[in-house]
Amino acid sequence: MNKIFSLALLSLFSIGLSACGGCPLIAGCNGTDRSPYFISPVSSHARGIPVPPQTRLTYQSQHFRQTHQQSHALKEQNLTGIAFPENTAILWGGMPVERFIQFSNPEMKGFSVYPAIGFKSEQSNTFLNLWKSCESDLSIYLKNPNDWSFNPSNMEIRGCGRYQQRSEYMEDNFRQNEADEFLSKINQALQQLPKQHSYPVIQKPSK
């Protein structure tokens, strides 16, 4: 009897895993992102940066019916992502960037900013050279999480590609020491730069 009962429980547990395993709640099991979003029809601002027309603004859903495309912008306090239109970028810190994504962990205040593919940065300084060297997005901790502008006094870079902030799970001390050195250098270079006030919108050159 106990064996039959155990098998029944195991079957129910397996069904539960097959139904929910590996499917992020926000994406659903069909792999599509159900997050509410709004396509901005005109130029505006969000989190302190300019938003050109046709920018996709993604938000954290506030109720189960609030999914997919919205007819109007939602509350900025619930904004989780900014993605500029195809072939469009803004100069952020001297780097052409195409999107910003807020950290999914609510305890981590900040975002990742992604260099735009196919664009070239004409500017050159220590900060930009270090960013380009890691060929990846920057993970940035913010003192004020609502300010996504390029404001060094509000920012601390926590990661870029293989260079990530020290973690208790990191076992390779040599690589971690290398990461610590890189993050120290890029943060020092960052703090030498002024707050940015103008964010030029640039287009990818046509072939």
Q: Give tens-digit pLDDT for 113-161.
A: 999 999 988 889 999 999 999 999 999 999 999 999 999 999 999 999 9
Asked whether the CA dihedral 159, 150, 37, 115 is positive or negative, the reply is negative
- Tell me the C-alpha distance between 93 and 198, whole Å: 10
- Tell me the C-alpha distance between 29 and 145, whole Å: 30
Yes or no: say if 150 and 195 are a contact pair by the CB < 8 Å rule: yes
Give 50-86 pLDDT, tens digit per residue: 999 999 999 988 877 767 888 888 899 999 999 999 9
- Tell me the C-alpha distance between 29 and 163, whole Å: 32
User: What is the reported pLDDT for 36?
Assistant: 92
For the whole model, what pTM was predicted? 0.81
Tell me, yes or no, whether 69 and 138 share the same domain. no
Give the residue from 112, 122, 100 showing the smallest Cα distance to 202: 122
CA distances to 18, 100, 155 from 45, in Å: 43, 14, 20
Yes or no: say if 204 and 119 are a contact pair by the CB < 8 Å rule: yes
User: What is the reported pLDDT for 194?
Assistant: 97
Give 165-206 pLDDT, tens digit per residue: 986 555 666 688 999 999 999 999 999 999 999 999 999 876
Could you tell me what percent of the chain has a pLDDT over 90?
Answer: 64
**Is residue 132 in a domain?**
yes
User: What is the reported pLDDT for 12?
Assistant: 39
On the question of pLDDT at 8 being above 70, the answer is no
CA distances to 56, 90, 106, 163, 169 from 131, in Å: 25, 16, 26, 11, 25
**Is residue 199 in a domain?**
no
Tell me, yes or no, whether 72 and 103 share the same domain. no
| Both structure tokens of 138 | 């920057």
Give the residue from 152, 151, 157, 120 showing the smallest Cα distance to 137: 157
Which residues share a beta bridge with 38? 57
Tell me, yes or no, whether 98 and 78 share the same domain. no
Domain end among 48, 69, 88: 88
User: What is the reported pLDDT for 2?
Assistant: 43
Give the residue from 33, 17, 16 showing the smallest Cα distance to 25: 33
Give the range of the structural domain holding residue 160, as residue numbers without chain letter. 91-194
- Tell me the C-alpha distance between 7 and 27, whole Å: 32
Tell me, yes or no, whether 80 and 124 share the same domain. no
**Is residue 42 in a domain?**
yes
